[in-house]
Amino acid sequence: MNESQKEPLEEARLSRIRNVGIIAHIDAGKTTLTERILFATDEIRIMGDVPDGTTVTDWMQQERERGVSIVAAAVTCHWRQCQINIVDTPGHIDFTAEVERSLCVLDGVIAVFCAVRGVQAQSETVWRRAQNYRLPALAFINKMDRLGADPWKVVKQMQETLGIEALPVQFPIGAGSGWQGTLDLLSNQWNGPAEKPDLEPYQAEIRAARERLIEALADVDEHVMQCYVEGVEPTVEALRHALRKAVIRRRVLPVFFGSSLHNVGVKKLLDGICLYLPSPLEHKVLQDRDFKGGTSALVFRVSRQGEQNLAFVRVLSGLVRQGTELRNARNGVISKVGGVFRVWAAQFIPQEGAIQGDIVAISGNLNRVRTGDVLTPRDAQVRLPRLHFPQPVVSILLEACEGKAAELAAALKQMASEDPTLRIRQDYATASWQVSGMGEFHLEVLRENLRLNFGINTLAGKPRVEYVETIKGQAQAGASFEKRLYDGRQLNAKVELEIVPLARGAGVRLDFSMLDGRLSKEGEQAVKQGIASIINADSSGCPLTDLNVKVKSASSDAGEASEVSLLNAARLAMGKALDCASRVVLEPIMLLDVNTPAATSGNVIADLASRKARISTVESVAEGFTHIVAHVPLAELFGYASSLRSLSAGRGEAVAEPAEYAPRATL
């Protein structure tokens, strides 16, 4: 077969791949939905359940014991001649890194919403992250058979909150105990746990929903628009073609309804994945890059399995197989692929190779590879947007029991290399480690992993808030560094800089534009390191954020030792500038989402007030519960889960996520 014949075959193969992530607020039913999809596609014969710890994608011992997804798990299934690679992501905010790095390799997402609770705090967060990667989406309103289900209220919330037109493609009949099923608004097919009922009482609402659907699709498709204007009924194929176009352009969010627990509506959702979500050929972000001329892959996770290092990759172009040599675009290191594996949750199934669009794991000499790296041919220059992960907000001190200090050090270094939101720093004076993470639960899981996976028991101090600092005003300073070496040489360098406060959340920016290229790359790097050593507060104090550092001049006449001189001069200048600026300590403020029985809401609100909470929402919701949204300083939330259980007779639940940093004294 010649090359001209191969290309259409490869495109046909790629057009049948769907790389899909399942995202949602915790306990909306992501893992259960994934399990039902595997059952519907004949990948498993018996459906597992989260409470029993028997699902495929909750494979870790902690996940099965806690009933919570901790790591993103990938599986593959087939439906309607499509290969669907599914990533089931965690819903808990403490494992946001798992969501972030999964989204960067996907072509679309399924956003799952609870028919009772609707659009919750974490629903919004993961939706925004998916939209940062310009991912088309389908919505699945789950738990339609639960008491208090209100699908139309959820659709309205989606419309108001997510910034996209939520467009039901099915019409639900009933809800809660009265739920009967759904009518497909495109094909008029019935799907549900019960026989098709008499739809006459619903005809007016069904017609209105279908008209709204056609009107929305007419805005993106000329043929549907012509039919609409002429009063002609579009064919089902024409409507599906228009809906696919609208989804890929991220103009609409098709809404499906069902109950994953009782396996209702899952097959219709699978149809939607194949019909409306894009293939790798239509990935809008990756289409903007030129990956031709060889094999390229994006690393979205690294892990050590037994004695070998694994990199989880999305193949961007070409063919990855054993022996393929790839260059790390970040550091130039060449890695040779030792093996290619299809990922099935915790299993790694060897295969000959992987083509563009595949999501696989590769082994080999991957010690210098980390999350976000792009692997390319030797001479290729490919860049993708960097992955950004939130800064840790909580830290604890850890010590190893039973004389396993060396083992603890090795284990923590490995875990930090695998988790971009984990920070570790050794305290040599006390032989302990400061470990920083996204929350108490994150660090609790880490300690349990040390025990289960490494056989290391630990002692831990009380959790502490990770504060940061910024500046209130502008300041300018210069500093010289002079030192005579033992061989008589003189080190001389001078750096002058200016610091300016930035808006909250801007981070740190370095500006070397005023040097106009007069400093060598090595010298510039030395100045950066000197500034960074102060900003990162490696030895003491709080890291700095939200400021711009403008280097106005930098010079050195120290010859070969100029980098050392410039680094020290930059440190001194940065320290002087900060002494002149007014520094302020910022603390993390959490967005707290609480659901508690209405009878206990008064006690819960009073407790939040005592914790310096700023309450923004108190509303009655289904099943006799009250929904409370508040902004609370993180320092006030340590141990809150236990307090809420006590205040709500064990029935309350809460989810907190970082919202902002604010001056420590304001709340």
How is domain 586-663 classified at the architecture level of CATH? 2-Layer Sandwich (3.30)
CATH superfamily of 394-466: Elongation Factor G (Translational Gtpase), domain 3 (3.30.70.870)
- The DSSP output letter for 371 is T
CATH superfamily of 289-376: Translation factors (2.40.30.10)
Give the CA angle between residues 235, 266, 131 to the nearest 5°. 80
Which region holds residue 41: left if phi is over 0, alpha if psi is between -120 and 50, else beta?
A: alpha
pTM listed for this prediction: 0.84
- The DSSP output letter for 369 is -
**Cα–Cα dist 250/257, whole Å:** 20
Residues 430 and 439: beta-carbon distance below 8 Å:
no
pLDDT digits (tens, 9 = 90+) for 473-524: 899 999 998 877 666 677 788 999 999 999 887 888 999 888 887 888 888 8
Q: Six-digit token pair at 446?
A: 């880490």
- Do the domains 586-663 and 394-466 match in fold? yes
**Cα–Cα dist 112/92, whole Å:** 14
Domain ranges (residues) in the chain? 3-192+252-285, 289-376, 394-466, 473-581, 586-663
245-256: burial string, b at 16+ Cβ within 10 Å, e else? bbbbeebbbbbb
Give me the pLDDT at residue 255, please: 97
User: Topology of 473-581 in CATH?
Assistant: Ribosomal Protein S5; domain 2 (3.30.230)
Query: Looking at the domain covering 3-192+252-285, what would its CATH class be?
Result: alpha beta
Query: How far, in Å, are 27, 67, 109, 147 from residue 50 at the CA level?
Result: 10, 6, 21, 20
Query: How far, in Å, are 174, 197, 206 from residue 200 at the CA level?
Result: 14, 9, 10
Give me the pLDDT at residue 48, please: 86
- The DSSP output letter for 1 is -
pLDDT digits (tens, 9 = 90+) for 300-359: 888 887 778 898 999 988 889 998 889 888 888 888 899 999 988 888 999 998 888 889
Q: Which of 74, 124, 128, 129 is nearest to 97 (CA)?
A: 129
**Cα–Cα dist 105/315, whole Å:** 9
Find residue 109's DSSP bridge partners: 21, 137
Q: Which residues contact 249 (CB under 8 A, 6 or more apart)?
A: 136, 220
Give me the pLDDT at residue 101, please: 85
* Ranges of the chain whose pLDDT falls below 50: 1-6, 288, 539, 666-667
